[in-house]
Amino acid sequence: MINKEPATGLKQQMVDAETGDIVESGQKARGYELAKGQYAESRKKELEAVQIESNHIIDIDSFVTARRDRQSAI
């Protein structure tokens, strides 16, 4: 991703939704919302248990062309 004007790179930062503080990469974890405002961290074993195997290969050139065509049709 770039900024169109003046064609510079962009960077993303993860920000705590409640405090607005920047969250460093070592503090990030995968998880899910149990109820509004209640979160639980996903454990590695839980993620492995639901992992889906796929052997589907995407041709990136075809994907980009199809997406571009679809957007220009709108």
Burial class (CB in 10 A: 0-12, 13-18, 19+), 23: middle
Q: Can you give the pLDDT at residue 9?
A: 92
The residue range of the domain holding 39 is 1-43
Mean pLDDT of 38-59: 78
Residue 53 lies in a domain: no
For the chain, what is the domain count? 1
Q: Can you give the pLDDT at residue 73?
A: 76
pTM, two decimals, is 0.44
pLDDT in tens, 9-40: 998 899 998 899 999 989 998 888 889 889 98
- To the nearest 10°, report the CA torsion of 40, 44, 48, 50: 0
The 3-state DSSP class for residue 40 equals strand
Residue 67 lies in a domain: no
Q: Can you give the pLDDT at residue 27?
A: 92
Residue 11 lies in a domain: yes
What is the residue-averaged pLDDT of the chain?
Answer: 84
